[in-house]
């Protein structure tokens, strides 16, 4: 049984004061979530402060990206040991905004993913097609290419420790989410690829999240799909009550599935 996972990606939002207030609101509102796992990914400047607030509670800390080298002359970058030191246990890799704005290649994303696994953090590999790729019928081709490249050279045991996130680029920040059917179709395809890249048993254990305009109003119908194992939440994670609402819906579905 795959426990639902809800990740809040705060992106480039929030001063220290705002981050502390948001983290405190989440901590107080989610003291004992059952049937769901919760992670938040603040900006680098807020990681230490948020870590202090969340320490000892059920909400775990993640980062939005990392550098694949442990140290070196990489101005402006943050290493995995630095993230681990402030309490990060998760890191997003290959988010579409990093691919587009920072020009991150599949090869670079693979280096990051492998480095995270080697150093004991959980990578959340993001894949997804653009609106034009979907119009041209290239959705499966695109996500398959990103998945295969992202997991190149990664063994079955390591794939089992990885989380995937299907985030159609056309749904991110647009207010237009993929339908439950669209999300389930692509995520089912990704699970089939995992069976090929690892094993059927491993594919059934890997969690595949949906990301793209997830909010409290649409979370339940998306999370109700058997192939959707949780959500990667952007804008709605910046409001404590909105994010808590999504987490609670995931928890209800996760608890019901176990009964």
Catalytic positions: 95, 167
164 CB neighbour count, 10 Å cutoff: 28
Q: What is the CA radius of gyration of the chain?
A: 17
CA 69, distance to chain mean position in Å, is 21
Query: SS3 helix, strand, coil % of the chain, rounded to 5?
Result: 50, 15, 35
15: tokens are: 């001063």
Question: CB–CB of 6/214 below 8 Å?
Answer: no
Query: Residue 39: which of 70, 3, 67, 81 has the closest Cα?
Result: 3
Q: In what helix (H) or strand (E) does residue 37 lie, and over which residues does it extend?
A: strand 37-41
Nearest to 197 by CA among 113, 90, 80, 112: 113
Tell the burial category of 71 from Cβ atoms under 10 Å away from its Cβ (0-12, 13-18, 19+): exposed
Instruction: Take residue 141 and report the two structure tokens written for it.
Output: 């081709």
């Amino acid at each position: 049984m795959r426990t639902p996972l809800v990740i809040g990606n705060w992106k480039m939002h929030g001063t220290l004061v705002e981050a502390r207030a948001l983290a405190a609101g989440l901590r107080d509102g989610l003291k004992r979530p059952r049937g769901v796992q919760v992670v938040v990914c603040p900006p680098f400047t807020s990681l230490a402060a948020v870590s202090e607030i969340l320490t000892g509670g059920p909400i775990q800390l993640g980062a939005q990206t990392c550098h694949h080298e442990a140290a070196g002359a990489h101005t402006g970058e943050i290493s995995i040991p630095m993230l681990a030191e402030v309490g990060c246990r998760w890191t997003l890799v290959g988010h579409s905004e990093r691919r587009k704005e920072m020009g991150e290649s599949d090869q670079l994303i693979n280096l990051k993913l492998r480095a995270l696994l080697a150093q004991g953090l959980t990578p959340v590999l993001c894949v997804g097609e653009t609106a034009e790729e979907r119009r041209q019928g290239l959705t499966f081709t695109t996500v398959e290419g990103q998945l295969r490249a992202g997991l190149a050279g990664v063994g079955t045991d390591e794939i089992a420790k990885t989380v995937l996130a299907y985030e159609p680029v056309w749904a991110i920040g647009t207010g237009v989410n993929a339908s439950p059917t669209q999300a389930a179709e692509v995520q089912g395809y990704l699970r089939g690829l995992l069976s090929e890249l690892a094993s059927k048993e491993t594919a059934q254990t890997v969690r595949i999240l949906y990301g793209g305009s997830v909010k409290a109003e649409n979370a339940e119908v998306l999370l109700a799909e058997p192939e959707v194992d949780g959500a990667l939440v952007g804008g709605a994670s910046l409001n404590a009550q909105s994010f808590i609402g999504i987490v609670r819906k995931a928890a209800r579905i996760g608890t019901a599935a176990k009964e």
